[in-house]
Structure 1
């Protein structure tokens, strides 16, 4: 199979609904997490031994250990976005409360998965990893933005998601790498103030403009 063919197959597996595929990926991610947290050497061989999978199985799903780290962070973003959408659609909480709960979940998740963040950012392609994180978060955020601005244009959804995701990821990764005395509570306050008002403020009424 060609390199492009392998990458295509890996992308398909990442989105597969087959519980056996999901379990294998989950076991590989968990094994990598355990090794990172224990400060043991992290290699494909070590991950395979801990996850009880063969090397061929690992490479069917991931090209590198760095890809495992990125997959773990992707899972975090996806799960948090799903929870945020559910809160906005079904909760009696205010927008500001929903945002603060979501940010608290994001920061705690980042702390929980800090070894993955740091491993991915220490890789030679760290800048590409940052872009990947921002792109994945932007894709997830479009669902939240659609829930708040259902009449906006596709161009608005994409632009708002890109703008918000790149700022949030930049601040989040900086904090994960070097908190510099900033507490979780302070970061929640800072990010809440910086997010668009129509995501956080009950008094803001969105005015949709047709730019078509």
Structure 2
């Protein structure tokens, strides 16, 4: 019985992953309604339950579970989009911008911190969930995957081992600092965080000459 249940769960998760990247606009709209409903509930300090999300999003429970296994997964989905969007913008800036590398890094960090603040309710909710450590690992993995594109742009002749290690190293430190700041700013302003993170990033990433 447990083996069959495991197979069913794996199939459901595979289906959810397919829906997450589907190009069907109807699927995207449904997911966006669910994410939007969850955000509104979190911002209003109301009880966040699957029933409440479904009611506000005007979807059935079966539809919710077709797309998401838990409410925590809704928060993760919202933040996944954040990292994907920021990574694409960073690559564009590095390819075409007349800014210095330091200026490009600061612009990217400014966007990252603004986006994190905009999605703060999702970060806080995800970090308060029972699976907070898994969520933290997911955020780090997402950012590392995005950073590999940046590392490849700056160090096109490096090895695959370097790409992965550099991205993992940078993502772990950045996510750790950002999540700590989101939970407890401790008097650190957004500008101060940008200054600190800029100083801590690898110098070849910040000081590399424009090509």
Normalization by structure 1: what TM-score?
A: 0.93
Distance 1:145 1:153 in 2: 11
Show the counterpart of 1:67. 73
Show the counterpart of 1:210. none
Deviation, structure 1 residue 48: 1.0
Show the counterpart of 1:187. 193
Trace 1:112-191 onto structure 2 (pairs within 5 A): 112-191=118-197
Deviation, structure 1 residue 179: 0.1
The answer to whether residue 10 in structure 2 is matched with residue 4 in structure 1 is yes
Q: Secondary structure of the equivalent of 1:2?
A: helix
The answer to whether residue 84 in structure 2 is matched with residue 87 in structure 1 is no
Deviation, structure 1 residue 49: 1.2
Number of positions where the alignment pairs a residue of Structure 1 with one of Structure 2: 205
Deviation, structure 1 residue 202: 3.6
Q: Secondary structure of the equivalent of 2:186?
A: coil
Q: Tell me, which stretches of 5 or more residues in structure 1 are unaligned?
A: 206-212
Normalization by structure 2: what TM-score?
A: 0.94
Show the counterpart of 1:209. none
Query: More helix by proportion, 1 or 2?
Result: 2
Deviation, structure 1 residue 39: 0.6
Distance 1:41 1:53 in 2: 18
The match for 1:102 among 94, 102, 108 is 108
Greater mean deviation of Cα atoms: 145-154 or 63-72? 145-154
Deviation, structure 1 residue 152: 1.3
Show the counterpart of 2:62. 56
Distance 2:28 2:52 in 1: 20
Deviation, structure 1 residue 43: 0.8
Deviation, structure 1 residue 203: 5.1
Q: Tell me, which stretches of 5 or more residues in structure 2 are unaligned?
A: 1-6
The answer to whether residue 41 in structure 2 is matched with residue 35 in structure 1 is yes
CA deviation string 1:50-84 (max 9, x = no partner)? 11111111101100100001111111111111111
Deviation, structure 1 residue 204: 9.7
CA deviation string 1:70-122 (max 9, x = no partner)? 11111111111111111111211111111101101111111111110000000
The match for 1:77 among 70, 74, 83 is 83
Show the counterpart of 1:17. 23
